[in-house]
Structure formats: C-alpha cells, structure tokens
Structure 1
Amino acid sequence: MSAELRKIATFIETTYVEGGKAAGKPVTTVIVAAVIRNPWAGQGFVEDLRAEILASAPSLGETLTRQLTDLMPAEGVQAYGKAAVVGVNGEIEHASALIHTLRFGNVFRRAVEGTAFLSFTNTRVGPGALISVPMIHKSETGKRSHFITSTFQIADAPGPDEIVIAIGASDGGRVHPRIADRFQDMEEMANEQAST
C-alpha cells in the first residue's frame, strides 16, 4: 500500500432489540477504518491530486474490503457505504480524493456484488470526532429500509495531518422498517398528480 498506514480500526454492532421490540432477525453492521498520513500534508495547495489517488486509492480499497469481508462474508452484505475525514491541517478535497474514485469504490462494489453507488460522507474533524458512514442497499437504491447509518470514533484520529478512510456494510436494513420505498412514493405522487 502506497498510503502511510498508522492503524486499522474495526467496529461491529449487532442490534437485537429496537424500540422495545425484539428483532425478527438481528442486524449486524461492520465498519473498517484506516488511519493514514495525509499524502498532501505540508505541501501547501496541490493543484493535481491524481498521482497520489492512483498510488493509494486502489490499495486502500483492497485492504479495507479484505478486512471487512473477513468479518462479514461478501454474500451476507445487503447495504454499504463509505466515509473519509481529514484532520484539521488538510482539505476536505484530500479526503474526498481517496474515496471518490472508481479505483477505490469498485473494489468494494465488486467484492460484494453491488451495483448501487456507495453513499458517503467527507468532512474535516479533530481526533475522537464521531464519524458517520451512511449506507444504502447495494443494488436497490430506493429501498428505504436499508437507508441506515453507522457511527464510530477513534480516540486519537484523525491527527492534524491524517485522513481516516472507512467502509461499512450491513447484513440487513433497519430492524423494524415501517416506511414506504421511494418508488412507492413516486407512484403515489404521479397518481395524485394525474387525478388533479
């Protein structure tokens, strides 16, 4: 891996009860996060980020995907997402650069046979900040039951010259989904419009 890796942190959460009601099937989410040195740290404004994207994004995708699928087998993944947060000395563009490339995302997508885009967050934070990884169904983008978010924190990351890159997956949607899918809303609204 070209990126200078300090550590990898993993977070696993299984929900058995929600709203006082037991889950029909417990739902597990897994987050795998890499803490790397910001490759553009100390260089001032860098016009072209491409060299480091090409050098680091594919190997980051491979490392994180391998670790995640070791914890949650690829065939069990139903929803997925990603996040990148840069430390206070970096630009949000630095975090974005490493995850908003097909050279990163396609590694994860192919491994879990996903077709949907990877929902994401990218921002600037200090060490120990809460980091959110939003997820959607890996192939049915309107399936609101799988609009979920997993939140984690790493006490000492990102440092001022670091980036945290994370991917997340879930083996189900929310435990007790009770809202319609997006496509049902669209159909109902079209029918309402047609009847006016």
Structure 2
Amino acid sequence: MSVDVRKYQTTVEEILHEGGPPPAAPLLVGSVSAVIDNPFAGRYVEELQPFMEELKPFGLAMAQRLIDALGGDAAAISGYGKATIVGAGGELEHGALWHVPGGYAMRELLGDAKAIVPSSKKVGAVGARIDVPITHINAAYVRGHFSALEVGVPDGPRPDELVLILVMTTGGRIHDRMGGLRAEDVKGEDGLR
C-alpha cells in the first residue's frame, strides 16, 4: 500500500489580540491537512497496521510542512494536536491509523516533545469539520495551552478518503488567566508537568 494524496490544505491564523492588550508577538495557530485514499473503504480488513507503517514517513513530511508554514523554527512551537476525518465508506478505526504516524512525527521534529499528542477522530461526510484538541508539547497540565482548532476541507473526505490533520501553535491562549502550571515552569520530565 502507498499513500495516495489528492490534496493538501494548510492554514495559519495570526492572532493579534482577543480584546485585551496585544501580546509582544502574535500567536500563530496552524494546521495542515492531507486528503488521501482510504485503502480499506467499503470493506472490513482485519490487519490495518501495515498501512500505519506506510504513514510514518508521510507524518514526518506533513509535520515539517506545518513547521515551515509557521516560520520554520521548530523551537518556536509549543502546542500541538492531531485528528482524522474518515469518509463515510470507512470506519472509525481507520482514523486511528494516524495516532502513531502523526503524533510521533511531531514529537520527533519538535525535539522529542514529552507530552502525548491529543487527538480526535470521526466519520464524516464531504465538508465535515472537526475540533482538533491542542495541549502543550512537553506538559499536558499547562492550562494556558488547552484549546482547539476547527479544521475541515471543503471537498473532503469523499466516502473512500481520509483527511489526516496536524495542528501546531507558537503559544498558549492569548490573555490566559486561568492559573495552574505556566509554560515557563514546565519541567518536561514526564509529559505531564
């Protein structure tokens, strides 16, 4: 099996403020989506994991594409998340194929980030959108990074396709005032704190 890509979509939001004072630098929130053929659409297949192996180098390439879209400096990235939208001819388990290739790719390219990459997946029709959860790359308990980005591709997924999604940010929410662990206090030892 090979990864057959129909299209990519990359978005970058540049957030200047949320009604309060502007931060020293705008917050960048980006996503990259790839619409690919789902080789399992329309049938039940017991063994899915060989395709996960095919997706690993693809995950690295997608993660690098998103880092580049956000300015090219992996050290500037502090938040991430991933998601999959499965076309109606597939099953939810096909979306789980993206867990390892998408998550480990970002963790590797961001300097062996410690925190688990939050994830969501669903089966959806053409034009479906999904909220991609976002957390800090090294400490899941950084409340200021708890967020989400809604992502969708207008003409995908078709019934026999998957939309694979990665999201990265250059910081937490602007004007975060909810307390808890601060990004500057992260120890990065266990992925939690």
Which of the five TM-score ranges fits, normalised by the shorter chain?
Answer: 0.7 to 0.9
Secondary structure of 2:22's partner?
A: strand
Shift of the alpha carbon at 1:177?
0.7
Q: TM-score, normalised by structure 1?
A: 0.85
Percentage of pairs with the same residue = 33
C-alpha distance in structure 2 between counterparts of 1:182 and 1:121, whole Å: 24
Q: Where does residue 112 of structure 1 map in the other structure?
A: 110
Q: Deviations over 1:10-47 (max 9, x none)?
A: 011011121x21332321101011000101123x1111
**What are the equivalent positions in structure 2 for 1:123-142 lying under 5 Å apart?**
123-142=122-141
**What are the equivalent positions in structure 2 for 1:1-196 lying under 5 Å apart?**
2-18=2-18, 20-24=19-23, 25-42=25-42, 44-55=43-54, 57-72=55-70, 73-97=73-97, 99-101=98-100, 103-113=101-111, 114-181=113-180
Q: TM-score, normalised by structure 2?
A: 0.87
Secondary structure of 1:10's partner?
A: strand
Q: CA contact under 8 A between 1:2 and 1:59: conserved in structure 2?
A: no
C-alpha distance in structure 1 between counterparts of 2:121 and 2:91, whole Å: 10
Give ranges in structure 2 of 5+ residues lacking alignment. Answer: 183-193
Q: CA contact under 8 A between 2:102 and 2:166: conserved in structure 1?
A: no
Letter of the aligned partner of 1:180 in structure 2? G
C-alpha distance in structure 1 between counterparts of 2:176 and 2:106, whole Å: 26
Shift of the alpha carbon at 1:107?
1.8
How big is the alpha-carbon RMSD for the aligned residues of Structure 1 and Structure 2? 1.7
C-alpha distance in structure 1 between counterparts of 2:121 and 2:144, whole Å: 23
Q: CA contact under 8 A between 1:77 and 1:169: conserved in structure 2?
A: yes
Q: Deviations over 1:95-150 (max 9, x none)?
A: 112x222x442221011121111001111111112222111000021100001111
Secondary structure of 2:26's partner?
A: strand
Letter of the aligned partner of 2:163 in structure 1? V
Shift of the alpha carbon at 1:182?
6.3
Shift of the alpha carbon at 1:65?
1.1
Letter of the aligned partner of 1:164 in structure 2? V
Q: CA contact under 8 A between 1:86 and 1:94: conserved in structure 2?
A: yes
Secondary structure of 1:58's partner?
A: helix
Q: CA contact under 8 A between 2:82 and 2:102: conserved in structure 1?
A: no
C-alpha distance in structure 2 between counterparts of 1:48 and 1:63, whole Å: 25
- Which of these two proteins has the greater Rg computed from alpha carbons? 1
Give ranges in structure 1 of 5+ residues lacking alignment. Answer: 184-196
Structure 1 moving runs of 4+ over 2 Å: none
Structure having the higher helix fraction is 1
